[in-house]
Structure 1
Amino acid sequence: MGFSYGKVQSVRQNFQQAIYYYQKACDLKDEMGCANVGVKYYNGQGVKQNINTEKWYHGKT
Structure 2
Amino acid sequence: MATLVRQFELPDKDKRYKSVRIVGRGTVRVDPKEVLSSPKSKEARQLAKAIVQQHKTRAQ
Same fold flag (TM > 0.5)? no
Higher RCO (C-alpha under 8 Å, 6+ residues apart): 1
Q: Which has the larger radius of gyration?
A: 2
Higher strand fraction: Structure 1 or Structure 2? 2
- Shorter-chain TM-score: which interval? under 0.3
